[in-house]
Amino acid sequence: MSSLWTEDPRAVATYDTECAGRHDHDFYLALAAEVRARTVVDLGCGTGVFAVDLARRGFQAVGVDPAAAMLDVARTREDGDLPTWIHGTAADIPSGSADLVVMMGHVAQYFVEDQAWATTLAQVHRALADGGHLAFESRQPDRDWPARWTREHTEITHEHPDGGVFTAWGEIVEVVGTPSSFVETHVGHTDLPDGTHLEHAETLRFRSEDEIRTSLHEAGFAVENLWGDWDRSPVTATSDELIVLARRR
Ligand SMILES: C[S@@+](CC[C@H](N)C(=O)[O-])C[C@H]1O[C@@H](n2cnc3c(N)ncnc32)[C@H](O)[C@@H]1O
Q: Are residues 58 and 160 in the same domain?
A: no
Query: Do 85 and 19 lie in a common domain?
Result: yes
* Protein residues whose CB sits closer than 6 Å to any atom of ligand 1: 6, 19, 43-46, 65-67, 70, 89, 104-107, 110
What is residue 16's predicted lDDT score, i.e. its pLDDT? 85
Same domain, 175 and 65: no
Q: Are residues 67 and 109 in the same domain?
A: yes
Domain end call among 172, 190, 205 = 205
> Are 66 and 187 members of one domain?
no
Minimal-distance CA residue to ligand 1 atom 13: 44
Question: pLDDT tens-digit profile of 169-199?
Answer: 999 999 999 999 999 999 999 999 999 999 9
Q: What CATH number has the domain bearing residue 93?
A: 3.40.50.150
Q: Are residues 195 and 229 in the same domain?
A: no
- Mean pLDDT, to the nearest integer, of 93-122? 98
Distance CA 4, CA 86 (A): 19
- Whether the pLDDT of residue 29 is over 60: the answer is yes
pLDDT in tens, 118-139: 999 999 999 999 999 999 999 9
Q: Are residues 108 and 175 in the same domain?
A: no
Whether residues 167 and 197 fall in one domain: yes
Q: Which domain range does residue 101 map to?
A: 4-140+208-248
Query: Does one domain contain both 90 and 24?
Result: yes
Instruction: Tell me the CA–centroid distance for residue 118 and ligand 1, in Å.
Output: 17
CA of 65 to the centre of ligand 1 (A): 6
Which atom of ligand 1 sits closest to the CA of residue 70? 27
Domain co-membership, 190 together with 214? no
What mean pLDDT value characterizes the chain? Answer: 95
Q: How far is CA 131 from CA 81, 118, 196, 222, 227, in A?
A: 29, 19, 49, 10, 20
* Span 192-239, pLDDT tens digits: 999 999 999 999 999 999 999 999 999 999 999 999 999 999 999 999
Domain count, the chain: 2
So what's the pLDDT on residue 2?
52
CA atoms within 13 A on the CB side of 142: 10
Picking from 10, 65, 69, 13, the residue whose alpha carbon sits closest to that of residue 199 is 10
Q: How far is the CA of 108 from the centre of ligand 1 (A)?
A: 8
User: Do 185 and 198 share a domain, yes or no?
Assistant: yes
